[in-house]
Structure 1
Amino acid sequence: MTVPENVQRPGPQTGLIWRPITPEDLDGWYALIRRMAETDKPGWVEDRADLEHILVRPNDHPALDTLLGHDTGGTPRAFGSVSANPGSGRVLGFGGVDPQWRRRGIGTAVYRWQAARARNRLTGKEKGEKVLRSFAEEDNASHVALLHSAGAKVVRYFTEMTRPLQGDLPQVPLPEGMEFVTFHADLSERFRLAHNEAFLDHWGSEPRDPESWKFTVTHPQFRADWSFAVVDKSSGEFAAYQLASFDPETKQIFGYTEGYTELLGVLRNWRGMRLTPAMLSEAMNRFLASGMEHAGLGVDTENPSGALRIYEQLGYVPVSRQITFDLPLVPGNSPS
């Protein structure tokens, strides 16, 4: 498969040699991700499994949708990728530059390529807004400036929060007649359907298909023993759920081990019953029993449900904020 003429890779003026990413690049690509993380301290860092997944996603084409820039010695110094769910006009951009190679125009070149490739992917039949969506850590001034200068607009803020698991933890019981049921594979599809229903009215959310859900619950960092549903004992219905994960490298990056609430949702008919604090209380106890030092999660800062306030009341404090940028994908609207 060849790259369309109007989606050319960056040129030699960047000082790098560009080509699509292949499975043989995984070690070097992951090493680049780690170098970036050590400098940028982002709220979340991709695991090797996440990079492997980029190269096998059924709706994407690695030969067209990925980009790797390496120096003359073969060391990866920059990368980019784009992805989208079937039928969606929202294309997600992911990329970065080695800290030692920044301020040379490489990030701008990668973003221009992402925008061109995202626009090239559109068929005109997609649903919803047609944008290239990118994410930047708020304190990464150069990345934020790049996206602003390219014409992308801020559309949302997400906050990463953490809570030390020391002293007395909040103990919030479930309402009478409800129980926690720990995740296991036989319930996976019910968890997926519960997630899709709970997030139906959440900003920026798109339904998880079986393929993407399988990746979530088989990810190396996923912890089934920390994940559970809240079940109504009389009907057997799912009222809410929480999925949790553990990145073994959080100690190296942030200085503490952390059990992380990856996904949490309450289905519409069960809202207003304090199920969220009950789930987080249960999660904290499970994290602590496994030797974790902190509990962590991410929150949509503008979520109208008041989630940020609930988390603060439970002792979570902000540690970083991520900005979501959208670049409209309309003809002739190329990054500056």
Structure 2
Amino acid sequence: MKASRDDDPRVGLDGRLSWRPAGAADLDAWAALIARTAAVERPVWFERREDLAQILESRKNPTAGNSVLGFDVQGVARAYGRITKNPDGEKALGFGCVDPAWQGTGVGSGLLGWTEARTRQRFAADAATRAAARLRLFTEQQHTHHSALFEGRGYRIVRYYSEMHRPLDGTLPEPILDDGFELVPFGPELYEAVRQAHNDAFRDHWGSEPRDQEAWAFVVNDPLARPDLSAVVVERAGGKVAGYQLASHDAQSAESRGFTEGYTELLGVRPEFRGRGIARALLANAMRRFAAAGMDKAALDVDSENPTGALALYLKMGYVAVNSSMAWDREF
């Protein structure tokens, strides 16, 4: 059967721009577009060239079918969108931006339409997926133009997140563990064991999906990853991973934010080891590692409804909320 134009997600894209999937030859233009947008919108974090190069390596979500870049007549990239989806996942995640000079012209609405259409295609193609097509988008609270666009398209807020900071210029807590546990460095020999521990620790977390080896490679090989600021807690008897703290550091963000931070990307404790002070010890150790590396603050993000009581722990350890973000969902 011949496909109709309605099956092509590019149909709704703005005709003033020339659209194509993102490729290796577009890295500089793609990164420049995101940087121009970030200079105006000032997000906490944004993708840089090295992040985009890593995205191009994905086998599950190749940019050839899951991304689009729009160029003006001068060949300048003005908008981009992409989605990711696990083959058996219950949601797709959408990402993108529009050059500030082109915002308010309808480009963003058309780009969101492409994202939705591609999401429906991915769900239709993934035989393992039984759920209705769902697209999840994220925005920071200060980006009200994003929120207005999402709300107008029928999205609803399904989760709130808080970015939290903890100054490192005062007395820092001691990383105290029971005698049955040992805190060890994080290195390649522990990558697979920590991946399995992560999937175990996050199986009861809202929105979390198991990470396979490709997804985990994105974590451990992230351009901002700092294994030297990370740590793992293992059982002395048997060496089973009980918990972990994986850290990153964005040196460039210090220029715009006015301070340096060590950021806890992932913190997890296996269910059978919770309530034994492991998360606290990992955070205390992280603070000391960050301070020794010259950081001003320890930072992390937390789901406002985290089932493990993480928010209460962070507050008790001196973290304070400094920024909010939201997850938006729409089902098709």
Do they fold alike, i.e. is TM over 0.5? yes
Deviations 1:159-208 (A, max 9, x none): 11112211112224122332211011111110111111101111111111
CA pair 12-168 structure 1, distance change in 2 beyond 3 A = closer
CA pair 88-127 structure 1, distance change in 2 beyond 3 A = farther
TM-score for the superposition, normalised by structure 1: 0.92
SS for the counterpart of 2:172 is coil
The aligned amino acid for 2:169 is Q
CA pair 230-74 structure 1, distance change in 2 beyond 3 A = same
1:236 and 2:202 equivalent?
Answer: no
Deviations 1:108-132 (A, max 9, x none): 1111110011101223540445301
> Structure 2 matches for 1:170-209, cutoff 5 A?
170-209=173-212
Task: State the partner residue of 2:157.
Answer: 154
The aligned amino acid for 2:164 is M
Q: Is the 1:7–1:120 contact (alpha carbons within 8 Å) kept by the matching residues of 2?
A: no
Task: For 2:198 and 2:228, locate their aligned partners in 1 and report how far apart those are by CA, in whole Å.
Answer: 18
Task: For 2:92 and 2:259, locate their aligned partners in 1 and report how far apart those are by CA, in whole Å.
Answer: 34
Tell which deviates more after alignment, 129-138 or 182-191: 129-138
How many residues matched?
328
Task: State percent identity of aligned pairs.
Answer: 44
SS for the counterpart of 2:91 is strand
1:216 and 2:219 equivalent?
Answer: yes
Task: State the partner residue of 1:59.
Answer: 60
TM-score for the superposition, normalised by structure 2: 0.93
Task: For 1:163 and 1:48, locate their aligned partners in 2 and report how far apart those are by CA, in whole Å.
Answer: 29
SS for the counterpart of 1:225 is helix
Task: State the partner residue of 1:333.
Answer: none
1:226 and 2:254 equivalent?
Answer: no
Deviations 1:131-176 (A, max 9, x none): 0111111110000010000001111111111122111122241223
Q: Is the 1:59–1:85 contact (alpha carbons within 8 Å) kept by the matching residues of 2?
A: yes
Aligned match for 1:275, one of 273, 278, 294? 278
1:293 and 2:296 equivalent?
Answer: yes
Task: For 2:152 and 2:79, locate their aligned partners in 1 and report how far apart those are by CA, in whole Å.
Answer: 20
SS for the counterpart of 1:89 is coil
Q: Which runs of 5+ in 1 are unaligned?
A: 330-336
Task: State the partner residue of 1:262.
Answer: 265
> Structure 2 matches for 1:240-255, cutoff 5 A?
240-255=243-258
Tell which deviates more after alignment, 115-124 or 3-12: 3-12
Task: State the partner residue of 1:95.
Answer: 96
Task: State the partner residue of 1:320.
Answer: 323
Task: For 1:4 and 1:230, locate their aligned partners in 2 and report how far apart those are by CA, in whole Å.
Answer: 54
Q: Is the 1:88–1:127 contact (alpha carbons within 8 Å) kept by the matching residues of 2?
A: no
Q: Is the 2:199–2:211 contact (alpha carbons within 8 Å) kept by the matching residues of 1?
A: yes
Q: Is the 1:10–1:110 contact (alpha carbons within 8 Å) kept by the matching residues of 2?
A: no
Deviations 1:215-249 (A, max 9, x none): 21122211111111111213322111111111111
What's the RMSD between the two structures over aligned residues? 1.9
> Structure 2 matches for 1:90-129, cutoff 5 A?
90-123=91-124, 125-128=128-131
The aligned amino acid for 2:71 is H
Q: Is the 2:12–2:113 contact (alpha carbons within 8 Å) kept by the matching residues of 1?
A: no
> Structure 2 matches for 1:66-81, cutoff 5 A?
66-81=67-82
